[in-house]
Chains A and B, each alone.
Chain A
Amino acid sequence: MPVLELREVTKVFPGVIANDKVSLVLEEREIVALLGENGAGKSTLMNIVYGLLSADQGEILVDGQPVKIRSSRQAIDLGIGMVHQHFMLVEPLTVTENIVLGREPGRLGIIDMKAARERVAEISERYGLRVDPDAKISELEVGLQQRVEILKALYQGARVLILDEPTAVLTPQEVRELFAVVRSLVDEGLSVVFITHKLEEVMAVADRIVVMRDGSVVGEVRPSETDEIGLARLMVGRDVVLRIDKEPSQCGDVVLEIRDLAVKSDQELDAVAGVSFTVCGGEIVAIAGVSGNGQTELVEALVGLRSPQSGSISLKGTDITHASARSSIEVGVSHIPEDRHRRGLVLPFNLAENLVLGDHRLKPYATRGVMHPREITAMAKKRIEDYDIRTPSEKVLASSLSGGNQQKVVVAREIGRNPELLVAAQPTRGLDVGAIEFVHRQILGERSAGKAVLLISLELEEVLSLADRVLVMYEGRIVKEFVAEEADAETLGYYMTGGGGTKLDDGADVSPTGSEVGA
């Protein structure tokens, strides 16, 4: 008897059918991978199982019994646990406090912390998930935080564990550790649903693969019966090019030069600790690294959102070390921000207002503080056309567009400005395949136009396919440089996690200019 079974589950959001009669079976001690693009409906489905959303139609069975799951409390009581993509951990609280939250041991409302700690220690011993029970979440690395999430589910008595995009934040090494953990959980009697959009992962870990597209299940296979190309076709519905072909780099003059840059984080830590590199025209340089190793601060310093402690940044020979965001835009730095909802767009502004953002003081859009709506509308119409933004008009609010179209607005604005340097931070995160292809084409277009591009990405696939040179960043330093053709995911991952032993001296292993690359 399957531990979990979904029968024809349907969920409709206003205007979208998120799940269309989805059926799924999970046997005991089985790892089922739920594979699909962003927006395919995987997370919606699992949120229904976990009681965060309610299905409009369909049936859920646990151990063969039909159940109604209206809250996470009920899901937990039924033995369903979920590790969310964005961790459900309270940062200022300790590991133990987070794990016992909602099921605190004790009497009369008073928590028995000693019992709680023992219980946590016992579970972490049993499953080999070691973590300091008294550490605050904010002090832990991402991999350990994920471990706490798994412990939390186990503490709550989960027999079915749902992992929602668990590898998105992990390095290849951590991913392998996670896979080992998942297998040992299955050995202990658990069943796992593994949500992902990464092909190589499902091949490595799953017993069975269920592929979703546009809210429906489009296929079900075993890893032995298929390969990545076949899965990709199933997932996207057409052939996909997994590698991008690009011309060899035509490296021009040095556009960006960074010397001994040091930047402090919000917590006054040395987030960037002496970084030097250059990017020249017609070149894409990628910064690879695990999230939180100083990339965000580096980008912020570069685009004028954060003032460096020391070192210098120059653009075509002009010093912009302490330039404001405003003057940084004016000298030709464009920026596709990591968080487009927060930093890339003013969501309640319409498209025209968003497309002029940053250029709104400049001619022809404004003179002496007075804006010219006609010019702005004309520009907006042109950009919507040029960048294929799907919208009825430029007066539509940015918040009403899909994620892919929103990112097109940001890209249209930043590239349309015709910058010297494009800083693209995680430009494709959360986008569907079509939009990813579009963004990649635009970035490559900048390269062929002789512009300098600095790409910051956590997706090694993206780094390897776009970049001419790859710099690996670890703990605020650049620990390794590769010419893209010589790098592979495993080696990058090795350096991203502090492999390679000693930290390299700044610049020792990093070529001062990229001029030899691709020559």
Chain B
Amino acid sequence: MSGSRDVVPARAWMSVVQKVGTPIMSTVLAIGVGSLIIWISGYDPVEAFAALFKGAFGGPRQIGETILRSTPLILAGLAVGYGFRAGLFNIGAEGQLMMGGLLAAWLGVELAGLTPLITIPTLLLVGALAGAAWAFVPAILKARIGAHEVITTMMFSHIARYVVSWLTAGPLKAPGQIPQTVNLSANAQIPRIQSLFSATTLEALPFFGLGRAHLGVFIAIIAAVGVWLVLRYTTLGYENRAVGLSPWAAETAGISVQWTTVKALCISGALAGLAGAVEVMGLHHRIFDQFSAGVGFTGIAVALLAKNHPIGIIAAALLFGALSAGSGTMQLEAGVSQKIILIIQALVIFFVAAEGIVNWFIRKRQKEATSGAE
């Protein structure tokens, strides 16, 4: 019953539509269902999303907030996405992110006297290594005995949470009541974008008054381009993709599936760790209990929405960054709980994954085109 499946060249616009169609329609659907929930709850969805939009894009400071929230999401999305490309689900990116932030916060204080040119790259590197190290044990367990990474990385994420709360309440605690670490000195902080401009420039060009947004966003974008290049133009990325798509064929072609698994999960962990370091160095300047705020989990939604494409991840991160940035205003002005954002995230994941719902008409169109081509 196999028969020969003839190759039918898909129409060009369709392949483009298919690439971005599902994510866009998924987002629209998710926001639609979200609106429905808001409406059922007795609020006005239009007012809510108008407030949200205002909070995310209403002015330079708001846009800055969106950029700020997107920054770690790009890196976390890359982390999860890189794992997915090797067929691995790093659901515990949150834990690696915490460890990256932890190490950056700790070492940043230790390196107080050095020039930023040394401190900042060092801390970024250390954060990435810490994330990789936190992913290493699950990676080895996966490669050697096949222990499912979803369970192990999740467990390591819970362990990381307790490590952070122990250190912030104990050995690394800053003087005072609040369990948090000492502030990073200026030489270890990633500067804000608006700090690059003088006060007079900002007055003349208020657009650059991006509030809390920091240069970390460029680190994230560079990382995204880097991951894209690695996946496309290196043997590392090629082997990563081969193992993700067919471990058996990869093994037969002399690619070590175990070693590729370890590398992939550690690189994924490194990207998550980098996210944590950037978040600490650019935004919090210290760590405290639950400073990661679920960024690692949102990274899953980002990666899935972008279909694990590094450049798409930038766009998806911007979307979730905007939702996150605007949700405060939405709660304030429309009275809708910020938790709706979590629901929308979940719905986006669901709709992207269940392509069947979203994609059926695209496929139907394509089928028509196919039979028409004969």
Tally B residues with Cβ within 8 Å of A.
Answer: 32
The one of A13, A339, A347, A360 that contacts B235, using a Cβ cutoff of 8 Å: A360
Contact A343 B252 (CB under 8 A): yes
The answer for the CA separation of A396 and B5 in the assembled complex, in Å, is 13
Among A37-69, those with CB < 8 Å from B are 38-39, 41, 43-44, 47, 53
Beta-carbon contact of A14 and B235 below 8 Å: no
Q: A304-B254, A343-B252 are in contact. Are A38 and B2 (CB under 8 A)?
A: yes
Q: Smallest Cβ distance from A454 to chain B, in angstroms? A: 16
Q: Please encode chain B, from 1 to 17, with 1 for each CB lying within 8 Å of some chain A CB and 0 for all others.
A: 11111111100000000
Closest Cβ neighbor of A376 among chain B residues: B238
Question: Which chain A residues (319-358) contact chain B, with CB distance < 8 Å?
Answer: 324-330, 335, 337, 339, 342-349, 353, 357-358
Q: Is the CB of B6 within 8 A of A15?
A: yes
Q: Quick check: A44 and B1 within 8 Å, CB to CB?
A: yes
Smallest beta-carbon distance B10→chain A, Å = 10
A47 surroundings in chain B (CB, below 8 A): 1
Tell me if A342 and B254 are in contact (CB < 8 A): no
Q: B18 within 8 Å of A by Cβ?
A: no
CB nearest neighbor in A for B233: A371
Which residues of A (358-393) have their CB < 8 Å from a CB of B? 358, 360-361, 366, 369-371, 373, 391-392
Asked whether any CB of chain A lies closer than 8 Å to the CB of B205, the reply is no
B5 partner residues in chain A, CB cutoff 8 A: 14-16, 400-402
A349 with B4: in contact, given A342-B249, A392-B9 (CB under 8 Å)? no
1/0 per position for B241-275, CB-CB distance to A under 8 A? 11001101111111110000000000000000000
Which residues of chain A have C-beta atoms less than 8 A from B6's C-beta? 15-16, 402
B371 at the interface (CB under 8 A from A): yes
Which residues of A are found within 8 Å of B256, using beta-carbon distances? Answer: 324, 326
**Structural contact, A371 and B238, CB atoms closer than 8 A:** yes
Q: Complex: how many Å from CA A337 to CA B246?
A: 14
Residue of A nearest to B4 (CB): A402
- Find chain A residues with CB under 8 A from B246 CB: 342, 345-348
Cβ contacts under 8 Å, B374 to chain A: 15
Q: Is B337 an interface residue (CB 8 A)?
A: no
A392 contacts across to B, CB distance below 8 A: 7, 9
Contact B235 A371 (CB under 8 A): yes
Residue B19, interface by CB 8 Å: no
Check A325–B367 contact: CB distance below 8 A: no
> With an 8 A cutoff between CB atoms, is A236 at the interface?
no
A403 near B: Cβ within 8 Å?
yes
- Point out the residues of chain B lying under 8 angstroms from A325, CB to CB: 251-255
Contact A324 B235 (CB under 8 A): no
* Nearest-neighbor residue (CB-CB) of B374 within chain A: A15
C-alpha gap A482/B1 in the complex (Å): 37
B contact residues around A348 at 8 Å (CB) = 245-246
Are B235 and A361 within 8 A (Cβ)? yes
Q: Does A436 lie at the interface of the complex (its beta carbon under 8 Å from any beta carbon of B)?
A: no
Question: Which residues of A285-314 have CB atoms within 8 Å of chain B's CB atoms?
Answer: 303-305
A160 contacts B by Cβ under 8 Å: no
Residues of chain A lying within 8 A (CB to CB) of residue B367: 14
Q: Which residues of B contact A100 (CB under 8 A)?
A: none
Which listed residue, B3, B9, B253, B371, touches A358 by the CB 8 Å rule? B253
Tell whether B236 is near chain A: CB-to-CB under 8 Å. yes
Minimum CB–CB distance from B349 to chain A (whole Å) comes to 22
Chain A residues contacting B8 (CB-CB under 8 Å) are 15
- Shortest CB distance B76–A (Å): 25
Residues of B within 8 A of A330 (CB): 254
Q: Which B residues touch A369, using CB under 8 A?
A: 234-236
B249 near A357: Cβ-Cβ < 8 Å: yes
**Minimal beta-carbon separation of A312 from chain B (angstroms):** 21
Please give, as numbers and ranges, the residues of chain A lying within 8 Å of B242 by CB-CB distance.
346, 349, 357
Is the C-beta of A430 less than 8 angstroms from some C-beta in chain B?
yes
Residues of B within 8 A of A403 (CB): 2, 4
A203 to B248, CA, bound (A): 40
Distance in angstroms between the alpha carbons of A304 and B241 in the assembled complex: 22
Interface residues of A in 223-259 (CB under 8 A from B): none
Q: Let me know if A18 is at the binding interface, CB within 8 A.
A: yes
> Which residues of chain A have C-beta atoms less than 8 A from B7's C-beta?
391-392, 396, 400-401
Selected contact of A39 from candidates B3, B9, B248, B254, CB within 8 Å: B3
Asked if B245 and A346 make an inter-chain contact with CB atoms under 8 angstroms apart, the answer reads: yes
The reply on B370 being an interface residue by CB < 8 A is yes
The CA-CA distance from A474 to B238 in the complex, in Å, is 40
Give B1's nearest chain A residue, CB to CB: A44
Could you say which of B9, B239, B252, B255 has the most chain A C-beta atoms within 10 Å of its C-beta? B252
B63 CB to closest chain A CB (Å) equals: 37
Point out which of B235, B239, B249, B251 has the most chain A C-beta atoms below 10 A from its C-beta.
Answer: B249
Is A305 touching B1 in the complex (CB atoms < 8 A)? no
What A residues does B2 contact at CB under 8 A? Answer: 38-39, 402-403, 430
- The residues of A that contact B248 with a CB separation of less than 8 Å are 339, 342-343
Measured in the bound complex, the distance between the Cα atoms of B374 and A344 in whole Å is 30
CA distance A326 to B251 in the complex (A): 9
* Residue in A closest to B249 when the chains form the complex, CB atoms: A346
A360 to B241, CA, bound (A): 13
If A38-B2, A358-B254 touch, whether A343 touches B9 (CB-CB below 8 Å) is: no
Complex CA gap A39/B4 in Å reads: 7
* B234 near A344: Cβ-Cβ < 8 Å: no
With A and B bound together, what is the CA distance between A409 and B4 in angstroms?
15
8 Å CB interface, B337-361 against A: none
Q: How far is the CB of A18 from chain B (nearest CB, A)?
A: 5
In the complex, A324 Cα to B6 Cα: how many Å?
37
Query: In the complex, A18→B250 CA distance in Å?
Result: 33
Nearest residue in A to B9 (C-beta to C-beta)? A392
Whether the pair B234, A15 counts as a contact (CB closer than 8 A) is: no
Is the Cβ of A16 less than 8 Å from the Cβ of B3?
yes
A18 to B2, CA, bound (A): 9
Q: Which residues of A contact B234 (CB under 8 A)?
A: 369-371
When the two chains form their complex, are residues B3 and A329 in contact, meaning their CB atoms are under 8 A apart? no
The answer to whether B235 and A343 have CB atoms under 8 Å apart is no
| CA–CA, A396 and B7, complex, Å | 8
Q: How far is the CA of A18 from the CA of B5 in the complex (A)?
A: 11
- In the complex formed, the residue of A with least CB distance to B367 is A14
Bound-state CA distance A339–B246 (Å) is 12
Q: Which residues of B are found within 8 Å of A326, using beta-carbon distances? A: 254-256
CB-CB nearest in chain B for A327: B254
Q: In the docked arrangement, what's the CA distance between A400 and B367, Å?
A: 15
Q: Smallest CB–CB gap between A284 and chain B, Å?
A: 22
Smallest CB separation, A383 vs chain B (Å):
16
**Interface core residue of B4, B236, B239, B242 (most chain A CB under 10 Å):** B4
Whole-angstrom distance between the alpha carbons of A254 and B234 in the complex?
A: 38
B251 proximity list for chain A (CB < 8 A):
305, 325, 343
Q: Which residues of B in the span 186-244 have a Cβ within 8 Å of any Cβ on A?
A: 233-236, 238-239, 241-242
Given contacts A15-B8, A15-B370, A305-B251, 8 further A-B contacts (CB under 8 A): A14-B370, A15-B6, A215-B3, A342-B248, A348-B246, A371-B235, A403-B2, A404-B4
29 A-B residue pairs with Cβ-Cβ distance under 8 Å, sorted by A, are A14-B5, A14-B367, A15-B8, A16-B6, A39-B4, A41-B3, A43-B1, A47-B1, A303-B252, A305-B251, A328-B254, A335-B252, A343-B251, A343-B252, A345-B249, A346-B245, A346-B249, A346-B250, A360-B235, A360-B238, A360-B253, A369-B234, A373-B233, A400-B5, A400-B7, A401-B7, A402-B5, A403-B2, A404-B4
List of 5 A-B pairs having minimum Cβ-Cβ separation, nearest first: A326-B254, A402-B4, A358-B253, A44-B1, A325-B254
